[in-house]
A and B are shown apart, each in its own frame.
Chain A
Amino acid sequence: MTATLDFDAFCAHVAEGLRLEPGALTPDGRLVEDVGLDSFDLVELMAIVEELGVRLPDDVAVGLDTMGDVYREYRERVAPGASIAPTTAG
């Protein structure tokens, strides 16, 4: 996949990969505490992001807290310099 996804499409793609209900992922929902991802889910999440063509450095990856964080890192690396304006998710 090469096109840059907007926030909703990004979340839908991740939710499908992690087998979450659509809408489970929100910009401010914390991945572990709120969404309830476990360590295998987090490896899976990183795998999904890598499959979208973005490899995050270790120190960035371990610091990700919310889906908004993940999307921001994805967006910065997939399209450097692009303005970050995630659309609101349900």
Chain B
Amino acid sequence: MSDGLLARLEAATAHGRGVTFLDGPEPEHASWGRLHDEAAQTAAALQARGVGPGTRVALLGPTSRSLLTAVRATWLAGAAVIVLPLSPRLGTPDEFRAQTRGRITLGDVALTVADPAMVDAARAAEGDTSLITFAELEGHARVLSADRLDRPADDPDATAILQFTSGSTADPKGVVIPQRCVVHNLDAVAERAPMEPDRDVVVSWVPLYHDMGLVFVATNAMITGTEFVLAPPTRFVTSPSTWTTWMSQYKATWTVGPNFGLSIAARFLRGSEGLDLSACRRWGSGSEPIHPEVMEALADAGRGHGLDPRALYAGYGMAEATVAISLGVVGGGFRADAVDGALLEEELVAVPAPPDGRAARRLARCGPPLRGTELRVTDPSTGDVLGERRLGEIEVRGPSVVPGYFRNPDASAAMFRDGGWLRTGDLGYLAEGDVVVGGRLKDVIMVGGRNLFPEDLERAAQSVAGVRAGNVIAFGVAAGRRGEGVVIVAELKEGEPAHVRDGIARAVRAAVGLRPEDVVLLPVGTLPKTSSGKLRRSVCRDRYRTAELEAL
């Protein structure tokens, strides 16, 4: 198939499948045909408010029938969609408002559609006419007939999505994802994690403001017309056993989640009885670093519930490449690559090592690059292309790679090397055709000729009692002849600071054999993070250097 996005949406209603929405008190089912008709009416209502090709619509609301329909309606109206993140549960209303307003302004949107409980965060000023609620839009849509829609011609270059990344080191940037990239990437995904309307049931709670939730799952289900069970992330967060319960109840064949979600699922599978996961044929892990032990625990725990371990796979991707770059092959199951950790750090070579040996560092194999995506590994400083099992920066090229960032020519130019190669900023290597990701390029700490991954230091530090999990940043500072010294900055949840500092120093030394130059403890809530909760390592390092951190 080579049809465009809109033609795919129209054709996908023919299979007679639909969506079960789990956000209400009772599950609610609607066919894709019905949802498409509602979206066409909604699109007509959007057009009546000036939305059309070349414009953008921002959507702000929890996962629901209204939100999914509004995404589809925005495309049918010819416009690009921005799905805005919801308020982080622990963030302040002021931060949420600033983040939301910033994205609406940067996106230069024609219209914002918001949940009534969130309109205050989205409103520019009293009487803001470019802001309405989902109910107002749907009320208007109901009195319009679907044939009022002025259906634009399929335009592969039209922007489908403006995806705001929360780069850990830079301010948010809007990735421009054209319709042609969405179609190309999902067609390539279909060869590794196919959604087939005559056999598949997709279950997902991944938020729609995340590219994995929006593109990899929801848009994929929409353009294939596959049966889709859609839950709001809050249901999973407040009741973590729900994921596997839904999978069993709806006989899910296809699901995906981040590493932490899979880790919780594995725990529940271990402790529960009577679940049936035998239908599952694709269960992916993506969007955050993948721990082999979590994948193996899930395979282990799932076996008692009929889970075929070959269903599990690891994936690698980013919004700058639409969503997916590489995924494990069908039927291959999850596999880790065990390499000599010291050689990886010191020589930047991934030399296979016995998996159980002391020197081994185990990393997830994320499968070969998708069809149409070229991938190479380069020396980040010289740009020289490196060979098999040499650690360097991952670069990709092909029809899934997006043109750039929205109205940000400098950042867009910096994305690419000559020849159209996207610099991912990720460190990794190729092993027998599989992509293996080892960390972020910019954050690597070089000490005495070794390359240390901050994630590893942070994991060690947060194992210490009193440290707030997930709230540790490690970075390097110039330290004389050693190259760089390691600094650990951590939020102190409780305990005696001197005692905790000592514990962190010992844990880091045990993990990497190096004593940190400095350990700084901060009060809860003061570690630099993005609005979506990602660590801002370079901001933290800058504040450390200028003595701006309020240490305890």
- A residues near B (Cβ < 8 Å) are 19-21, 24, 32, 35-44, 46-47, 50-51, 55-56, 58, 61-62
Contacts and interface: CB of A to CB of B under 8 A. Distances in A.
B239 A50 contact: yes
A25 to B, nearest CB: 10
A21 B465 contact: yes
A55 B239 contact: yes
Nearest to B89: A39
Contact of A40 (B260, B494, B495, B524): B260
B477 interface: no
B244 to A, nearest CB: 11
B340 interface: no
Given A35-B493, A47-B241, 20 more contacts: A19-B463, A19-B465, A20-B465, A21-B494, A24-B494, A32-B90, A36-B491, A36-B494, A39-B88, A43-B260, A47-B240, A47-B267, A47-B268, A50-B241, A55-B241, A56-B239, A58-B239, A61-B238, A61-B239, A62-B234
Residue from A37, A41, A47, A62 having most chain B Cβ neighbours under 10 A: A47
Interface of B: 88-90, 234-235, 237-241, 260, 264, 267-268, 271, 463, 465-466, 468-471, 491-495, 524, 533
B493 A50 contact: no
A19 B239 contact: no
B234 A58 contact: yes
Nearest to A40: B470
A20 B493 contact: yes
Query: Taking each of B238, B271, B494, which has the highest tally of chain A beta carbons within 10 Å of its own beta carbon?
Result: B238
B525 to A, nearest CB: 8
Contacts of A32: 90
A82 B470 CA distance: 37
Given A39-B88, A41-B469, A58 B235 contact: yes
Nearest to A53: B271
A61 B240 CA distance: 11
A58 B260 contact: no
28 contacts: A19-B463, A19-B465, A19-B469, A20-B493, A21-B494, A35-B493, A36-B492, A36-B494, A36-B524, A37-B493, A38-B470, A39-B89, A39-B90, A39-B237, A40-B469, A40-B470, A42-B89, A43-B264, A46-B238, A46-B240, A47-B241, A47-B264, A51-B268, A55-B241, A56-B239, A61-B238, A62-B89, A62-B238
Contacts of A24: 493-494
Contacts of A41: 469
Contacts of B470: 38, 40
Contacts of A62: 89, 234, 238
Contacts of A44: 264
Contacts of B241: 47, 50, 55
A37 B267 CA distance: 20
Contacts of A40: 260, 469-470
A32 B241 CA distance: 22
Contacts of B271: 51
A46 B238 CA distance: 6
Nearest to B494: A24
A84 to B, nearest CB: 22
Contacts of A43: 237, 240, 260, 264
